[in-house]
Structure 1
Amino acid sequence: MSNQSMDAATPTFNEFPPTPYEEWRKAIDKILKGAPFEKRLITKTYEDIDLQPMYRQEDIEGLPHLNGLPGFTPYLRGATPMGYAASSWDVAQEMPYSTPAAFNAALKADLERGQNAVNIVLDRPTLAGVDADQAEADDVGKGGLSISSVADLAAALDGVDLEKTPIYIQASTSALTFTALLAALVKQQGKSLDKVRGAIGMDPLGQLARDGRLPRDLDGIYEVMAQLAAWAKSNAPQLRTITVQGHPYHNGGATTTQELAFALATAVDYLRALQARGLSIDDAAPRFRFALSIGSNFFMEIARLRAARVLWAKIIQAFGGNEESQKMRLHARTSAWNQTVYDPHVNLLRATTEAFSGAVGGCDSLHISPFDELLRVPDEFARRVARNTHTVLREESHVTKTVDPAGGSWYVENLTDAVARKTWGIFQEIEKQGGMAKALEAGWPQNQVADTASKRAANIAKRKDIFVGTNMYPNMKETRIEPAPVDAWAVQNERKEALKAVRAKASGNKQAALDTLAKGGANTVESAISAAAAGATLGEIAQAARTNAKPGPTINSIRAERGAQAFERLRQVTESFAARTGQPPQVFLATMGPLTQHKGRADFTTAFLGVGGFETIYPSGFDTPDAAAQAALASNAKAVVICSTDATYPDIVPMLAQTLKKANPDVTVLLAGYPAEHVEAFKAAGVDDFIHLAANCQSLLTTLQKKMGVAQ
């Protein structure tokens, strides 16, 4: 075929003229048949952002930063020119093991199989600066690693080359003591501190928001923060000393914009504190790392990470920082708030979409939650699946082959701008209140998060927000994953023995080093390192460093509760009843008429009740109300649901409900559906409540548990 004939046969875009938006709207309005477009097709998010059903080029006209390139301020498209094409994100899986030996075994195994960074989560005593042999047994190793000495840290990191493997430690107000332990270990191993990269996460305001208290005054904490930042600049330039965490707010139910705004406002408080103590903005900003939780709103999270880089660059620019200082270092963690105890394998899917958001959004390091994280210390299988999710995203999805893969999308670019503007508005409100510390003291962030959490809870209760396997689509044949029993006394005894050996080997210089540390001064970090090297324990170093500390502030903390917990409690109450009585509570379905008449609502009702762990008795169908009533009463079920169609209900419901109530006044009678014009008449006949799409499932099932004697 000649080129001429090929050209003649090849269609061009001019042959397909674009359809004007107005014509599309006319077609949509015709389909909607008078229903309002705004209510049916525009989605309003918790961030108060309206998501359109379709985006056009007009939606990005005039947006700032669209012409920016990766590696150039304001870093919308990433902080490096080549993005993941040059270097992928750090696979920084948390290792929530209690003892150094258990932690090290898991870490070694995973570093050989795809993990390339150490991510240490500490238990509460360690975070509080309390040695394991001085803590309550139940707290030692609970939720994280127990570390009390350089020897402990050496055992936990045995076989890890700290010059080559980045290390992230969520240390909060124990940052000084942990820096001392880490620096002493590096020197002990003959390694170079200036090659150690990662972060020791100091975040006192995040800890205050989470716990409601701090172990010492903020001024004293900020003094330590400034000394750590200055020490790191001179001695460990690749080690960040401040990790601003959004997790406390996210875990309380905050919106993506609230979490980001609170993190940015927190960072600004820290910047001002460091400047007041003599650090320049270009000395301080490179010491920061941000850690955000990634929720299930896929595009919202991508937009949020892109917006975060722009806003941080804007803040640092306003402080006078150079372009290098404007780069945000960003760690992402898949959501803990979204995870569920029931049907936990669904957590695999949640974490996968959340991790994909983090990767597309351009995080620098990432933790993907194992599916059994809520139930137990993750086993090898759960760790492997989570770890391999990183590998699939990196090696099979090709997301790393494109720099800023979402860039240019009309939807994502518009949403990025909307998220940035909403976040900035919240940030400015905090600035008006005098900064994050004062806002927390006044309770403003707590109230904002509580308000969002309340809205979420209302939608979850009505199943407008869905948790698959928990408040919708329950798996009634699920085999529960039971957590392995933990012998708290054995864990603490193991830790006590380790500490006993450390104390016995301590150098004679230990007390002198601790005394020097207790005096304070400009060399606090070096004094703490000397004490650690001499054999001082974490608790001893912390106690010496706080010798002249004033009492810390107390506030109302952010109330952390996962979205699914209310429904999980419902299910747990029912399971306790089943354990006591030998079977789940049963509800009889009065299925009226042939299968086609009752099946839809009977199936819906079975799933609706299954959310609370109720079992349904599901007959084939009854011809008369009397036959249905007799079968229901004979079943001894304490609740009956009438299932049929709205058209047949007027002939069925009054007689059936009255017969049931007359024979057994204590029986609960429910109706599948909500025939609005007959509701009052049916209530008068004996119907107690209605099971339907708009019902408050949580409230109805709670009431049913009480009426049926399921709840004690």
Structure 2
Amino acid sequence: ELAKPFPLIKPFVVDATIYHNAGAGDVHELGYAVAVGVEYVRALVDAGLTADEAFGQIMFRVSATTEQFLTISRLRALRTLWNRVGEVLGVADEHRGAIQHAVTSLRQLSRDDAYVNILRATIATFAASAGGAEIQTVLPFDAVAGLPSDFSRRIARNVQVLLGEESNIGRVNDPAGGSWYVESMTAQLGEKAWEVFQSLDADGFAAKLADGTVAAQLDELVATRAELLATRKLPLTGVSMFPNYTETPVDAKPRPAAPELGGLGVTRDAQVFEDLRDRSDKAREDGNPPKVLLACLGTRRDFGGREGFTSNLFQVAGIETVVAEGERPLDFARRLEATGAKVAVLCSSSALYKQQGLATARALKEAGAERILLAGQLSELGSEEAKGAVEGNVFDGMNVVDLLDSTLNLMGVSK
């Protein structure tokens, strides 16, 4: 009754961002959104509204992510699925539209290298517009660090203004329509999400949420995503890739303590890497800066690529990398003793690994190195004896979280 004088107001919001931030992927966010929407429709019909009137009271709040085409396809698929629900319930064609309020993903925001969040927001905003979102909200780039500043709020507004006024992204209806790639992805998302919806709808979404079914599904999705993040198959610029651990953090006022409400929490992608960085920062403040020695054999052309890769890897956790260049094993041993590093990594080419790898590893071990690693594959050392002189290797696709956690543990850096 209160909403009748205001026909454009949608008093009931299906907030799918809750499930997205708790770990849901595109398929499950879409399936959950439809399931919650159906719950609302049933409740409103039970309260005396017609199905047409119930549809007119509902709006969807959805996430917009840096996965540009998935976001576009998901928003398009939601309209298709909601139209399908309306068709089954006998809702008139003109009332079946799914009004969508897209919010840039909180899960994808990072505390470290926060200005990269502006790029993330720009991609997500473009995707939401191309996907047909009627309303958009851009989260400020410092939202994770604390309360947004006037500057970050202005940048968030300007992202929308620039895309709208200069790129004209809101002037074309369904710009992705007709693209085979997007149409195919939209159809596939819709089919998979409908399966998720049907698996929950028999008992009702509220019942499945209460009995832990939804939480169990989210836990499985979070574990799968955590593996992709840890192996950097899902890279985070400025966090798990190309980190700047000496940066000056964003200055933001802390948020007031929020009440404990229970329910689903937020699982941010960058959190595990930020926790590692915090451990290193605390150790540095306590006078125990974590360091790793990079024993770079030969000339820059021999070790340059692997030195850069290895430095990048350890700096993800805020661990300082000390580059030692030389030809003789004794040079590296002396440098290790001077720095007090407990971990050393051999960086060079396959040819030099075969020639100097074993001798250098032995010299580092005698100088006090507690762990010696190799940048590359162990087979590059040649002999089995040389392979036994190192404890492991660093390579693209490895679980960097496990490596960095164990390295900090070895250095005595507390959690």
Query: Secondary structure at 2:286's aligned position in 1?
Result: helix
Q: Distance in 2 between matches of 1:327 and 1:435?
A: 22
CA shift, 1:271, in A, is 1.2
Q: How does 1:487-566 map to 2 (within 5 A)?
A: 557-566=263-272
2:364 counterpart of 1:595: no
Cα 1:418/1:471, change in 2 over 3 Å: same
Q: Supply the AA of the counterpart residue of 1:562.
A: R
2:392 counterpart of 1:689: yes
Corresponding residue for 1:659? 363
Q: How does 1:171-186 map to 2 (within 5 A)?
A: none
Q: Supply the AA of the counterpart residue of 1:705.
A: L
Cα 1:426/1:380, change in 2 over 3 Å: same
Corresponding residue for 1:340? 110
Q: Distance in 2 between matches of 1:597 and 1:454?
A: 38
2:342 counterpart of 1:668: no
Corresponding residue for 1:644? 348
Corresponding residue for 1:331? 101
Corresponding residue for 2:220? 451
Cα 1:257/1:389, change in 2 over 3 Å: same
Q: Distance in 1 between matches of 2:331 and 2:176?
A: 61
CA shift, 1:447, in A, is 1.6
Q: Distance in 1 between matches of 2:312 and 2:62?
A: 35
Q: Distance in 2 between matches of 1:691 and 1:682?
A: 16
Corresponding residue for 1:698? 401
Contact 2:142–2:252 under 8 Å retained in 1: no
Corresponding residue for 2:43? 273
Corresponding residue for 2:160? 390
Cα 1:420/1:380, change in 2 over 3 Å: same
2:317 counterpart of 1:577: no
Corresponding residue for 1:118? none
Contact 1:302–1:358 under 8 Å retained in 2: yes
Query: Secondary structure at 2:156's aligned position in 1?
Result: helix
2:314 counterpart of 1:609: yes
Q: Distance in 2 between matches of 1:594 and 1:329?
A: 61
Corresponding residue for 2:410? 707
Q: Distance in 1 between matches of 2:304 and 2:49?
A: 71
- The two structures, once aligned, show a CA RMSD in angstroms of 2.0
Q: Distance in 2 between matches of 1:475 and 1:469?
A: 7
Q: Distance in 2 between matches of 1:670 and 1:411?
A: 43
Equivalent of 1:362 in 124, 129, 132: 132
Query: Secondary structure at 1:400's aligned position in 2?
Result: coil
Q: Distance in 2 between matches of 1:636 and 1:576?
A: 18
CA shift, 1:393, in A, is 1.3
Q: How does 1:353-502 map to 2 (within 5 A)?
A: 353-432=123-202, 434-484=203-253
CA shift, 1:251, in A, is 0.5
CA shift, 1:603, in A, is 1.2
Cα 1:449/1:485, change in 2 over 3 Å: closer
Q: Output the TM-score relative to the length of structure 2.
A: 0.94
Cα 1:647/1:677, change in 2 over 3 Å: closer
Q: State the Cα deviation string for residues 125-183 of structure 1 (Å, max 9, x = none).
A: xxxxxxxxxxxxxxxxxxxxxxxxxxxxxxxxxxxxxxxxxxxxxxxxxxxxxxxxxxx
Q: Supply the AA of the counterpart residue of 2:3.
A: A
CA shift, 1:659, in A, is 2.5
2:335 counterpart of 1:631: yes
Corresponding residue for 1:239? 9
Q: Distance in 1 between matches of 2:49 and 2:14?
A: 18
Q: Distance in 2 between matches of 1:460 and 1:255?
A: 14
- Larger Cα Rg: Structure 1 or Structure 2? 1
Contact 1:248–1:558 under 8 Å retained in 2: yes
Corresponding residue for 1:50? none
CA shift, 1:483, in A, is 2.5
Q: Distance in 2 between matches of 1:487 and 1:626?
A: 55
Q: Distance in 2 between matches of 1:341 and 1:605?
A: 23
Query: Secondary structure at 2:3's aligned position in 1?
Result: helix
Q: Supply the AA of the counterpart residue of 2:398.
A: A
Q: State the Cα deviation string for residues 664-709 of structure 1 (Å, max 9, x = none).
A: 2x52212111234759644522x22211112211110110001112
Contact 2:358–2:381 under 8 Å retained in 1: no
Q: Distance in 2 between matches of 1:700 and 1:352?
A: 33
Contact 1:343–1:474 under 8 Å retained in 2: yes
Q: Output the TM-score relative to the length of structure 1.
A: 0.56
Corresponding residue for 2:64? 294
Q: Distance in 2 between matches of 1:677 and 1:557?
A: 51
CA shift, 1:370, in A, is 0.9
Q: Distance in 2 between matches of 1:677 and 1:238?
A: 68
Q: Distance in 1 between matches of 2:256 and 2:367?
A: 53
Q: Give unmatched runs, 5+ long, in structure 1.
A: 1-229, 489-554
Cα 1:486/1:569, change in 2 over 3 Å: closer
Q: Distance in 2 between matches of 1:262 and 1:654?
A: 56
Contact 2:307–2:347 under 8 Å retained in 1: yes
Contact 2:111–2:145 under 8 Å retained in 1: yes
Q: Distance in 2 between matches of 1:486 and 1:424?
A: 38
Q: Supply the AA of the counterpart residue of 1:397.
A: S
Query: Secondary structure at 2:393's aligned position in 1?
Result: strand
Cα 1:311/1:487, change in 2 over 3 Å: closer
Q: State the Cα deviation string for residues 239-282 of structure 1 (Å, max 9, x = none).
A: 22210001111001211110111011011112112222322101
Q: Distance in 1 between matches of 2:411 and 2:271?
A: 22
Q: Supply the AA of the counterpart residue of 1:700.
A: L
Contact 1:446–1:556 under 8 Å retained in 2: no
Query: Secondary structure at 2:351's aligned position in 1?
Result: coil
Corresponding residue for 1:622? 326
Q: How does 1:18-417 map to 2 (within 5 A)?
A: 230-233=1-4, 235-417=5-187
CA shift, 1:288, in A, is 0.3
Q: Distance in 2 between matches of 1:711 and 1:462?
A: 23
Q: Distance in 1 between matches of 2:349 and 2:360?
A: 14
Query: Secondary structure at 1:612's aligned position in 2?
Result: coil
Q: Supply the AA of the counterpart residue of 1:436.
A: F
Q: Supply the AA of the counterpart residue of 1:610.
A: Q
Q: Supply the AA of the counterpart residue of 1:641.
A: V
Q: State the Cα deviation string for residues 372-403 of structure 1 (Å, max 9, x = none).
A: 11112211111111101111111111223322
Q: Distance in 2 between matches of 1:486 and 1:320?
A: 46
Q: Supply the AA of the counterpart residue of 2:340.
A: N
Q: State the Cα deviation string for residues 583-617 of structure 1 (Å, max 9, x = none).
A: 63221111111111111111111111111111111
Query: Secondary structure at 1:406's aligned position in 2?
Result: coil
Query: Secondary structure at 2:242's aligned position in 1?
Result: coil
Q: Distance in 2 between matches of 1:568 and 1:455?
A: 19
Corresponding residue for 1:527? none
Moved over 6 A (4+): none
Q: Supply the AA of the counterpart residue of 1:331.
A: H
Contact 1:446–1:557 under 8 Å retained in 2: no
Query: Secondary structure at 1:405's aligned position in 2?
Result: coil
CA shift, 1:651, in A, is 2.8
